[in-house]
Amino acid sequence: MGIEDYGGGQGPQPDVLVVTTNDVPGRRVERVIGEVFGLTVRSRHLGTQIGAGLKSMVGGELKGLTKTLVETRNQAMERLVEQARVRGANAVLAFRFDVTEAADVGTEVCAYGTAVVLARE
């Protein structure tokens, strides 16, 4: 896996801008639509779990689990963006991720933020 397999985020010209800040320079919030989120739960693959257990004995990165978490976060973010788009937003402010264990069978990832309509100042 190359470095591009370990990241996420948006391309250079997204139709729905997602930022972790509460504002965007040069833009003003014209309308607040409200909270949006994207949620996904992924189960762990048995082979990955066994490999992770063995790797934990010698130390080092758990690449299989890292790849799964990146894919999971990206899917949650895609769902958040789609929800914002459908509700008429062109941006999501105060974007965050929340990650929790789901009943010892998987990982729940929730991407959330505030959907807004931004206008140029």
The reported pLDDT for the residue numbered 54 is 53
The reported pLDDT for the residue numbered 2 is 65
Q: Give me the residues paired with residue 34 across strands.
A: 115
The reported pLDDT for the residue numbered 36 is 98
The reported pLDDT for the residue numbered 89 is 98
- Rounded CA separation 33/118 (Å): 11
Q: CB of 92 within 8 A of CB of 82?
A: no
Q: Dihedral sign, CA of 77, 79, 37, 43?
A: negative
- Low-confidence residues of the chain: pLDDT under 70: 1-6, 44-59
The reported pLDDT for the residue numbered 50 is 53
The reported pLDDT for the residue numbered 20 is 97
